[in-house]
């Protein structure tokens, strides 16, 4: 019977030790639709025409059917196919200071979790002391050696376990934040690299335009000197040349600043031995990715994962606040030897022990514990709102990137048609001007139209390529290399 009672007590103690006062956690319902928006803005008409006959390119086909691998399942090396860009991302991951700080924050929170977890177990310490004093002419000595635990809180009501769970969730939230920082870093490197390529393309285009305008100005001036052109034609040619030179200076500055920005995000100088780069407008620079269902964002996007861990930490903090209303039981126990003479310290009869449990019960604290519990509940409500806001922000960002992916295909295609038309206009105007059948003003207008069309094409290609990087980022891609 005695053994049965002891067994029942042991089981009861184990059950009590396993429970906490944390509220039951349920993931809040996602405040977003079950599917991403659909409609004309999310479907490329260019892709629809190209797919049956020619087989649309990777960037184009992705806008008509979402059957590609999910972004979160696509490592960044697989998504970014440009070898030069891959090398730049490697350098950034190894040297970027923001990512280094994020990793150190993870290590710090992991250590804080281990500190909190250690409070669940008693701390054993060995102590020794010797005292020798003189009082009223008499000399007294005492020596003590003991091993034991001091102020070990027996976690009957789960306060320490709730705090341990809170520390664990904070650690996991920080780790998710590191993943988010890594994705943002990869996307920033890719975007800065694309911006550099675009400005280098615009710089080359402007240099060619300056050469063409300089040639036009020189010819017009010579023709005017021969009496076959007016001063107005010379002035118009000079205006066009001056404008092109101003643009040239602007793009030279932009390219230099782009390189500085890229070096800053890399955390190291740009190497001279980078692999060859793909063409700026190469549509195979990136792999196809699918969006999947919005619900996948809840487990794949790091900022949402971080927000949920913060919510779970707040939930555990409520359990710790609730446990503060119950008695706090602490145990102090030591065993050792005590003697008035050091030489007799470990002899028979010098043994000593102490067992001192203590209980503190909150009776009246002017509402401090109640206020602490209210604070914990309010903090949880704040975390719920932050979690829901993170989901809504993610849904918006993905939806915007999806419509941009579709419409930029049509926009770039229209730009290419515009450049082709402007090139034909320029060729025809130049021939007619040289033949004397059309005015110099028409030729100059054709030249400006072609330059503007080429600028617009380069700018829109940059926007399209950058949006593909953004789509990969907002879908939670880039966790692994």
From residue 430, alpha-carbon distances to 230, 426, 427, 440, 454 in Å are 17, 6, 5, 9, 18
pLDDT of residue 193: 97
**Tally of CA atoms within 13 A in the half-sphere of 73 that contains its CB:** 9
222: CB partners within 8 A, 6+ apart: none
Mean pLDDT of 60-64: 43
CA distance 155 to 17: 7
Q: What is the pLDDT of residues 253-297, one digit of tens each?
A: 999 999 999 999 999 999 999 999 888 888 889 999 988 889 888
- How would you class 88 by CB atoms within 10 Å of its CB: exposed for 0-12, middle for 13-18, buried for 19 or more? buried
Mean pLDDT of 311-321: 93
From residue 480, alpha-carbon distances to 71, 345, 471, 477 in Å are 11, 62, 17, 8
Percent of all residues in the chain with a pLDDT value above 90, rounded to a whole number:
51
Give the residue from 310, 467, 462 showing the smallest Cα distance to 398. Answer: 467
pTM of the prediction? 0.84
- 343 or 97: which carries more pLDDT confidence? 97
Tally the residues of the chain. 481
**C-beta of residue 74 within 8 angstroms of C-beta of residue 289:** yes
Count the Cβ atoms, other than its own, within 10 Å of residue 450: 23
CA distance 331 to 329: 7
pLDDT of residue 87: 96
CA distance 52 to 214: 46
Give the residue from 437, 168, 194 showing the smallest Cα distance to 313. Answer: 168
Mean pLDDT of 5-13: 45
User: Which range has the top average pLDDT, 46-60, 122-136, 273-287?
Assistant: 273-287
Pairing relationship of beta strands 328-339 and 124-135 according to DSSP bridges = unpaired
Continuous segment of H or E residues that includes residue 192: helix 159-225
215 pLDDT exceeds 80?
yes
132: CB partners within 8 A, 6+ apart: 139, 140, 141, 142
**C-beta of residue 74 within 8 angstroms of C-beta of residue 291:** no
207 pLDDT exceeds 50?
yes
Q: Would you tell me which CATH number, out of the four given (1.10.3720.10, 2.60.200.30, 3.40.50.300, 1.20.1600.10), belongs to the domain 19-120+155-326+368-474?
A: 1.20.1600.10
Give the torsion sign (CA, 412, 418, 419, 421): positive
pLDDT of residue 360: 80
Which residues are 332's β-sheet partners? Answer: 356
Location of structure tokens 């944390």: 22
Location of structure tokens 């503007």: 452
- 372 or 359: which carries more pLDDT confidence? 372
Percent of all residues in the chain with a pLDDT value above 70, rounded to a whole number:
82
pLDDT of residue 1: 45
Which residues are 127's β-sheet partners? Answer: 146
What's the mean pLDDT when you consider all of the chain?
84
pLDDT of residue 334: 72
Got the DSSP string for 56-112?
--HHHHTTT---SPBGGGS-HHHHB--HHHHHHHHHHHHH-HHHHHHHHHHHHHHHH
Location of structure tokens 């145990």: 331
Instruction: Indicate the SS3 state at residue 456.
Output: helix
pLDDT of residue 305: 94
CA distance 270 to 141: 74
Domain 122-154+327-361 of CATH type 3.40.50.720: no
pLDDT of residue 480: 66
Q: Directed axis angle between helix 302-323 and helix 368-434, to 10°?
A: 170
Mean pLDDT of 285-312: 92
Instruction: Indicate the SS3 state at residue 158.
Output: coil
278: CB partners within 8 A, 6+ apart: 81, 82, 84, 284, 285
User: Which range has the top average pLDDT, 252-256, 334-338, 363-367?
Assistant: 252-256
Alpha helix stretches (DSSP H) within 324-439: 368-434
144 pLDDT exceeds 70?
no
Both tokens of residue 214? 């300089």
CA distance 397 to 440: 49
Mean pLDDT of 76-88: 95
Which residues are 184's β-sheet partners? Answer: none
Sketch the domain layout of the chain as residue ranges. Answer: 19-120+155-326+368-474, 122-154+327-361
CA distance 403 to 312: 34
CA distance 50 to 46: 6
Location of structure tokens 């994962």: 305
Q: What is the pLDDT of residues 149-200, one digit of tens each?
A: 677 778 888 888 999 999 999 999 999 999 999 999 999 999 999 999 999 9
Give the residue from 88, 451, 401 showing the smallest Cα distance to 264. Answer: 88
């Amino acid at each position: 019977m005695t053994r049965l009672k002891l067994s029942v007590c042991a089981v009861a103690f184990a059950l009590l030790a396993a429970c906490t006062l944390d509220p039951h956690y349920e993931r809040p319902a996602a405040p977003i639709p079950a599917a991403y928006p659909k409609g004309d803005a999310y479907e490329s008409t260019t892709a629809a025409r190209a797919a049956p006959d020619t087989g649309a390119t990777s960037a184009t086909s992705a806008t008509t059917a979402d059957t590609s691998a999910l972004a979160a399942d696509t490592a960044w090396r697989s998504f970014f196919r440009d070898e030069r860009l891959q090398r730049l991302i490697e350098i950034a991951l190894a040297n970027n200071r923001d990512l280094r700080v994020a990793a150190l924050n993870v290590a710090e929170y992991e250590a804080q979790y281990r500190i909190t977890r250690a409070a669940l177990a008693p701390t054993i310490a060995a102590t020794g002391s010797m005292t020798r004093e003189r009082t009223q002419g008499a000399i007294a000595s005492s020596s003590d050696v003991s091993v034991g635990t001091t102020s070990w809180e027996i976690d009957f009501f789960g306060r320490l376990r709730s705090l341990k769970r809170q520390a664990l969730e904070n650690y996991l939230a920080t780790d998710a934040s590191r993943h988010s920082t890594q994705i943002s870093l990869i996307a920033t490197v890719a975007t800065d690299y694309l911006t550099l390529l675009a400005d280098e393309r615009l710089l080359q285009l402007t240099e060619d335009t300056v050469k063409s305008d300089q040639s036009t100005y020189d010819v017009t001036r010579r023709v005017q000197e021969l009496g076959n052109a007016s001063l107005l034609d010379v002035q118009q040619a000079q205006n066009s040349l001056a404008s092109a030179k101003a643009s040239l200076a602007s793009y030279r500055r932009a390219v230099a600043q782009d390189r500085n920005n890229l070096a800053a995000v890399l955390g190291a100088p740009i190497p001279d031995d980078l692999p060859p780069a793909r063409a700026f407008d190469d549509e195979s620079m990136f792999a196809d990715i699918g969006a999947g269902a919005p619900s996948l964002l809840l487990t794949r996007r790091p900022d949402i994962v971080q927000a949920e861990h913060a919510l779970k930490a707040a939930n555990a903090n409520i359990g710790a606040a609730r446990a503060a209303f119950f008695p706090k039981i602490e145990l102090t126990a030591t065993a050792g030897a005590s003697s008035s003479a050091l030489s007799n310290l470990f002899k028979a009869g010098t043994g000593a022990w102490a067992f001192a449990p203590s209980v503190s019960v909150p009776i009246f604290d002017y509402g401090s514990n109640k206020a602490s519990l209210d604070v914990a509940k309010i903090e949880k409500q704040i975390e719920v709102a932050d979690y829901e806001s993170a989901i809504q922000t993610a849904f918006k960002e993905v939806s915007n990137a999806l419509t941009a992916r579709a419409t930029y295909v049509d926009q770039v295609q229209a730009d290419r048609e515009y450049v082709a038309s402007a090139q034909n206009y320029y060729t025809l105007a130049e021939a007619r001007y040289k033949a004397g059948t059309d005015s110099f003003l028409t030729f100059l207008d054709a030249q400006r139209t072609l330059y503007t069309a080429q600028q617009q094409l380069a700018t829109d290609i940059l926007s399209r390529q950058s949006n593909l990087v953004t789509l990969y980022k907002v879908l939670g891609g880039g966790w692994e290399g």
